Amino acid sequence: MVELRTGRLRLRAWRPEDRAPYATLNADPVVMEHFEAPLTRAQSDAHVDHIEARFAEHGWGLWAAERLDTGTFIGFIGLSIPGFDAPFLPGVEVGWRLAKEHWGVGFAPEGALEALRFAFDDLALAEVLAFTTVANAKSRRVMEKIGLVHHPEDDFDHPNVAEGSPIQPHVVYRITRADYTLRR
């Protein structure tokens, strides 16, 4: 499996010992504020199973993110193929979910930029997208920091979120390989 590195992070295969801290961050209501609910341990483990199955299928995905200085697992950063239908799909999404104690120090944009580099340089993708609920200002800020641009014409009500939920409306951001190359 492909492993990626940045100045401060290793994006690597998931290990069995990552499951407990991943379940802890998924149970944190602050981390999960823009999701329907925090995840149970079983739901969190099922998500890791899904991530590992996508790695087996594609050879890339949502890597376990580890700090190089401490070896601490901090969450995930990487690429995924959304598993629902929307007018702007198919596509490949860049995404992240980090434990809150690792927020605000640039890990999400640092790792996401490396995932974009891999997407464009190694996978030769033409475009990468990201989406989040309208109110998720922190993720939207990361999207903008890494060069993605909001495409309001693609904004949508997420089909996997309960009808009428305040988190159902989502925004869509995109970056093309050409725009990524210009930013380098």
Element (H, E) at 132: strand 127-133
Q: For the full predicted model, state whether its pTM sits above 0.75.
A: yes
**What structural domains and CATH numbers belong to the chain?**
4-183 (3.40.630.30)
pLDDT of residue 183: 81
pLDDT tens digits for range 15-43:
999 999 999 999 999 999 999 999 999 99
Of 83, 112, 79, 76, residue with least CA distance to 93: 79
Assign 13 a pLDDT band (cuts: 50, 70, 90). Answer: very high
pLDDT of residue 184: 75
Q: What SS3 state is found at 129?
A: strand
Q: What is the Cα–Cα distance from 47 to 16, expressed in whole angstroms?
A: 13
pLDDT tens digits for range 53-100:
999 999 999 999 999 999 999 999 999 999 999 999 999 999 999 999
**Rounded mean pLDDT, 149-156:** 97
Of 134, 126, 141, 62, residue with least CA distance to 98: 62
Angle between helices 41-58 and 19-27 (to 10 degrees): 120
Percentage above 70 pLDDT, the chain = 100
**Residues in a beta bridge with 169:** 157
pLDDT tens digits for range 104-114:
999 999 999 99
